[in-house]
Amino acid sequence: MPQPETSPDHSGGSDLRALSSEYYVSDEVFEREKDLLFFRTWQYACHSSEVENPGDYVATDILGQNVFVIQDQDGSIRAFRNVCPHRGHKLVEGRGHTTVLVCPYHQWSFSLDGGLRRLRKTPDSQAPAASKVCLIPVRCDVMLGFVFINLDDNAATIADTWPGVEAHILETCPDVMSYKLADGASTVPPADVDCNWKIQVDNYLECQHCRHGHESFADMLDICNQNYSLGENHAYNFIPSAGKAENKAYPLDPEHDVMDLHFWFLFPNIGFGQFSGPGNLSLFQWLPVHTGRGIRVNASLEPAEPTDPGMKERQHKRTRWGEEILQPEDLAFMRSVQEGMHQHSFDRGWYIVDHENQEFSEAMIRHFHQLYRAQMEESGI
């Protein structure tokens, strides 16, 4: 598998102080993040297989701004603000299929491309012309089969925002476009996490805690020989296999399974990972609920057909390990860090940056924080 060369970070090694604790506990910062980050960046909405046919739709939201994704009659995937222009009622809920979008409140109807079809009136009514009323479109794009939306009409495309990432994932995971959304993935609710969303991201962007904090993970992978690279708006981490079919995490089949770990971080809050075990690609999205609580959205792809008779059992064991071992270990660390951010004696932390021994390096966290600070400069915080 490809292992990109390590790139120097933007600070040249001079800045070792982390974000101030204010960024993790301030309600004012949270409100600024909505406007300057989440309403201006590409956010995951659904998988393209969930809107596979004309009229299939998925309703979602970005921090309270309601949107739905739908396939139109021409086979294009579109997104619209999920609000009727008549009185503001929500048009659709959840997932479903329709041939016409009808507002439940006053029965105004819209075509799948967002145009007004019908409103209730008499010949003598004063009413807007159909050409004057339509649903408000939202920018929509597809990457690796995952549908993303962006509330900023002027934002750069996905290809320009995260240059080279899709090509690198396809090079690293050449079978991924033949994968399907994992069984039940569309109905799995987001995981609640009792910490600021940035603490979740910080935790995923370093492995200094892995050897002692994730003993089974560290037994399965050769974490001392991992390496990372930093891109314009992304980062990549590669951890080679320890070569153990039997290990403390879950069993592996070297003939059929992925052995190494690959992780891509896409600023500000998206991750893609291919993990040891049966073929897979997982998308992660870390979102805030408020300053001290977040959620983690996970959408996983798997082979459309089993690669071998034991694949499903190994998948099940990997899933149980993640839910019962790895995630609780991380949650305990992250909850404690959130509590620490409220301590009067703690102002800000430190980075450890080591380009030679990357097991100990927190350069990817620093890169994330640099990108975050640059995006938040407009706020004056």
Please report, as a single letter, which amino acid is at residue 212. Answer: H
Q: What percent of the chain has pLDDT over 70?
A: 94
Under the banding of pLDDT at 50, 70 and 90, the label for residue 356 is confident
Of 123 and 341, the one with more pLDDT: 341
Residue 285 has phi, psi (to 5 degrees) of -135, 120
Sign of the dihedral through C-alpha 76, 79, 82, 85: negative
Residue 68 neighbours by CB distance under 10 Å: 29
Q: Give every CB contact of residue 375 below 8 A, 6+ residues apart in sequence.
A: 36, 37, 268
- pLDDT score, position 189: 83
CA 278/CA 311 separation, integer angstroms: 6
Sign of the dihedral through C-alpha 359, 365, 367, 370: negative
pLDDT exceeds 60 at position 4: no
CA 87 to chain centre: 32
pLDDT in tens, 311-337: 999 999 999 999 999 999 999 999 999
CA 147/CA 337 separation, integer angstroms: 32
Mean pLDDT lowest for which of 34-48, 118-132, 167-181, 209-223? 118-132
pLDDT exceeds 80 at position 34: yes
Residue 381 neighbours by CB distance under 10 Å: 15
pLDDT exceeds 50 at position 3: no
Mean pLDDT lowest for which of 10-19, 117-126, 137-146? 10-19
pLDDT exceeds 90 at position 124: no
- pLDDT score, position 6: 39
Sign of the dihedral through C-alpha 296, 221, 333, 3: negative
How many helices and strands, by DSSP H and E, does the chain display?
10, 20
pLDDT in tens, 43-96: 999 999 999 999 999 999 999 999 999 999 999 999 999 999 999 999 999 999
CA 150/CA 351 separation, integer angstroms: 32
- pLDDT score, position 14: 58
Mean pLDDT lowest for which of 52-61, 175-184, 204-213, 229-238? 175-184
User: Which CATH number, 3.90.380.10, 3.40.50.150, 3.40.50.720, 3.30.750.24, labels domain 17-40+162-379?
Assistant: 3.90.380.10
**Closest alpha carbon to 25 in 285, 268, 340:** 340
Task: Decide the pairing of beta strands 261-266 and 234-239.
Answer: antiparallel
- pLDDT score, position 131: 82
Mean pLDDT lowest for which of 7-16, 163-172, 369-378? 7-16
- Taking phi over 0 as left and psi of -120 to 50 as alpha, with beta for the rest, 288 belongs to beta
pLDDT exceeds 60 at position 232: yes
Q: Which class does domain 43-143 fall in?
A: mainly beta
- pLDDT score, position 120: 84
Residue 38 neighbours by CB distance under 10 Å: 18
| Averaged pLDDT of the chain | 93
pLDDT exceeds 60 at position 211: yes
- pLDDT score, position 381: 53
Place of tokens 């050409």: 131
CA 133/CA 128 separation, integer angstroms: 7
- The three-state secondary structure class of 205 is coil
- pLDDT score, position 380: 53
Distances (CA, A) of 201 to 68, 72, 73, 184, 271: 26, 35, 39, 25, 9
CA 216/CA 181 separation, integer angstroms: 27
pLDDT in tens, 272-297: 999 999 999 999 999 999 999 999 99
- Number of alpha carbons in the 13 Å side-chain half-sphere of residue 162: 26
Q: Tell whether omega for the bond before 288 is within 30 degrees of 0, i.e. cis.
A: no
The domain ranges of the chain are 17-40+162-379, 43-143
User: Residue 366 has which token pair?
Assistant: 């620093």
Give the N- to C-terminal CA distance of the chain in Å, as an integer.
42
CA 155/CA 137 separation, integer angstroms: 14
User: Residue 377 has which token pair?
Assistant: 């400069």
- pLDDT score, position 7: 42
Domain 43-143 in the same topology as domain 17-40+162-379: no
Calculate mean pLDDT across residues 148-166.
Answer: 96
Q: Are 314 and 285 in contact, with CB atoms under 8 Å apart?
A: no
- pLDDT score, position 129: 80
